[in-house]
Amino acid sequence: MGDGMDDLKKKFDKNNLMTRVISGFVIAILFFGLGIVGGYIWFTLVLIVSGIALWEFYRVFEIEKKPAGIAGYLLAAGYWALILLDLEEWMFPYLIGVFIVEMGVYVLDYVNMKAEKAMASVVGFIYTVVLVSFLYRVRTMEDGAWLVWLTCLSTWGCDVCAYFVGVMFGKHKMAPVLSPKKSVEGAIGGLAGAGIIGAIYGAVVSTRFTALQTPVLACTVICLVAAAISMIGDLTASAYKRDHGIKDYSHVIPGHGGILDRFDSVIFVAPLVFYLVGIFM
C-alpha cells in the first residue's frame, strides 16, 4: 500500500513538473514574442495580466465582488486609459483620486468593511495596476523591444540560478519563517547569475541598442539590481499568501498557480528597469 502511494506521488510530481515546464515555456514564448511585436498587442497582454492580478489580490482580501473591489476595477480601467492616451501628467492626480474614491467607498460601506480591506483596495491597485503598467511603459521606450526582456531575464534568471546554487550549497536560511527553502547562498548565486545573464544579453544584442551608451554595463547593472529587488517581490507575494493561509493566488496558469505566483518578482522589477534605463541613455 505504501509503495503504491509513493509511486502515485512520484507520478503526480513528475506530471506536475512537466505541466510547469510546458506552461513556463508558453509564457516565455508569449512574453518575448509579443514583447518584440509591441503596440496594441503588447498593451492588451499587459492589460490582461494586470486585470487578473488585481482580481487575485482582491480575492485574497475577499473584496473581489464587494463595492471596494468593483471600484478598483473601474479605476483601473481609467488608469489604463491614461496610459494608452499617453496622458502621463494626469497620473499622479489620478492616483490621489483613486485613494479618495476608495476611502469614500470604505466610509459608505463601513458596516461591511474592515480597515485592512480598505487599505488592500488601494495597495492592490498600486501593486497590480501601477507597477504592472511599467511593463508597457518600458516597451514604449527607445529600444523598448529589447529592454522589456530585462524585466524577465533578471527575475527568472535569478530564480533559476538561486535554485541550483541553493540546492547544492545552501546552508544558511534567508527567510526561515516566510520561505524556509530559500538560502543566503542561493540568493548570492541568484544575484551573480542574473548579473552574468545580463552581461551576456547586453553583449549579444548590443548592436540592437541605439539609445544605451554602454549596453553590456547597463544590462549587467540593471539585472544585478533588478535581481535584488525581485527577491523582495517574491517574498512580498509569499507573505500575503502566508498571512491569509493560501497556497496559490489562483489557478489560471497550470502548474504555477496565478499571475501573482508567476509574475510577483517581475511586477516589482518593471518600474526599476524603466528608471534605471534612463541613467544609461
State the pLDDT at residue 152: 87
* 247-263 pLDDT per residue, tens: 889 888 776 688 998 88
Answer with the one of 140, 174, 195 that is the final residue of a domain: 140
Question: Does residue 177 register a pLDDT over 60?
Answer: yes
Residue 16 lies in a domain: no
Residue 14 lies in a domain: no
Question: Does residue 130 register a pLDDT over 60?
Answer: yes
Question: Does residue 144 register a pLDDT over 70?
Answer: yes
Using CA atoms, how far residue 130 sits from 15, 40, 74, in Å, is 36, 18, 14
Question: Does residue 91 register a pLDDT over 50?
Answer: yes
On whether both 84 and 96 belong to a single domain, the answer is yes
> What 3-state DSSP class applies to 281?
coil
On whether both 151 and 259 belong to a single domain, the answer is yes
Q: Are the C-beta atoms of 154 and 223 separated by less than 8 Å?
A: yes
Within 109-148, where are the H helices? 115-125, 131-139, 144-147
| Number of Cβ atoms within 10 Å of the Cβ of 96 | 9
On whether both 134 and 151 belong to a single domain, the answer is no
In angstroms, the CA 265 to CA 43 distance is 20
> Most confidently modeled of 31-40, 100-109, 177-186, 253-262?
100-109
Name the average pLDDT for the chain.
88
In angstroms, the CA 269 to CA 258 distance is 18
Residue pointed to by grid coordinates 508558453: 26
On whether both 63 and 172 belong to a single domain, the answer is no
State the pLDDT at residue 168: 86
State the pLDDT at residue 218: 93
Residue 22 lies in a domain: no
Question: Does residue 16 register a pLDDT over 70?
Answer: no
Q: Identify the band that residue 36 occupies on the pLDDT scale cut at 50, 70 and 90.
A: confident
Mean pLDDT over 55-70 rounds to 95
In angstroms, the CA 41 to CA 203 distance is 28
Question: Does residue 20 register a pLDDT over 90?
Answer: no
For residue 199, the enclosing domain spans 142-281
On whether both 126 and 184 belong to a single domain, the answer is no
Answer with the one of 106, 124, 140 that is the final residue of a domain: 140
Residue 154 lies in a domain: yes
**Biggest CA pair distance of the chain:** 66
On whether both 268 and 151 belong to a single domain, the answer is yes
Mean pLDDT over 26-45 rounds to 87
Question: Does residue 76 register a pLDDT over 90?
Answer: yes
* 106-124 pLDDT per residue, tens: 999 998 888 999 999 999 9
Mean pLDDT over 98-112 rounds to 94
* 163-173 pLDDT per residue, tens: 888 888 878 88
State the pLDDT at residue 109: 92
On whether both 97 and 166 belong to a single domain, the answer is no
Q: Which three cell numbers stand for residue 117?
A: 480591506
Q: To which H or E segment does residue 183 belong?
A: strand 179-183
Q: To which H or E segment does residue 45 belong?
A: helix 39-60
The pLDDT > 70 percentage for the chain reads: 91
Q: Identify the band that residue 181 occupies on the pLDDT scale cut at 50, 70 and 90.
A: confident
Q: Identify the band that residue 131 occupies on the pLDDT scale cut at 50, 70 and 90.
A: very high
Q: Identify the band that residue 15 occupies on the pLDDT scale cut at 50, 70 and 90.
A: low
Mean pLDDT over 174-197 rounds to 86
